[in-house]
Structure 1
């Protein structure tokens, strides 16, 4: 699970750099090129800003769900011995912990990368989000193409 630790450190270091190195505040933007900006956004929900939580109860509920998901994936990863599954699980865990740490410290997740082209703006994300998506892609790859998917009840 060293990948999880590496991702957690990279995620927190990037957020520290944005918040304290560049000093970006909510809504502030630095244009990097015609397709990418650094845009500071506090996300009080989950992916794509869904399920916004503006109360302490909601915040701590998301912290609990995040930690429970990381523990469940860690247990699952220890039962599956394929390389890609373990790496994918570690990426999901590292990213999940990175965003959970934000919720504990700041009350929301710090997102800051904005990709866009031809007046289409994708959602604003961070290193943890990239790790989670890449991890799920590896988990799906492993389950579909490497044969680690669970057996069906009829034994096939």
Structure 2
């Protein structure tokens, strides 16, 4: 079986893990810089291009602000769902047979862990990219 190593694990697992760690580190460093060095909270919307602005948004829900709830129970449930999703994605990545799929799953895992750190540290995910027409 091409791309599969011992115990059915992906022979490309290392690049996937490196991708996950790189995205996690970049995600957290970017957010820390925007919050505490650039001080985006006091700058308001910052135009970068005609179609892209930097705008601080705190997202207590999931994608696109769905299920927003500041309650502790909701935050715990979202953290548990995220933990299960990361575990499922990690198993999928470990069993993936292609480098592209492994890297893509690593990128998703890194972003998901970064958002979980935000939720734990701030009670919400730090969002800042606003694309528009």
1:30 aligns with 2:43: no
| Partner secondary structure for residue 67 of structure 2 | coil
Gapped runs of 5+ residues in structure 1? 118-156
1:89 aligns with 2:102: no
Cα distance in 1, alignment partners of residues 43 and 75 from structure 2:
21
TM-score, reference length from structure 2: 0.82
Cα distance in 2, alignment partners of residues 14 and 4 from structure 1:
15
Give the counterpart of 1:9 among 21, 25, 49.
Answer: 25
1:116 aligns with 2:132: yes
1:43 aligns with 2:64: no
TM-score, reference length from structure 1: 0.71
Per the TM alignment, residue 54 of structure 1 is displaced from its structure 2 partner at its CA by 1.3
Gapped runs of 5+ residues in structure 2? 1-16
* Higher-RCO chain (CA-CA 8 Å, sequence separation at least 6): 2
1:61 aligns with 2:77: yes
RMSD: 1.5
**Structure with a larger share of its residues in helix:** 2
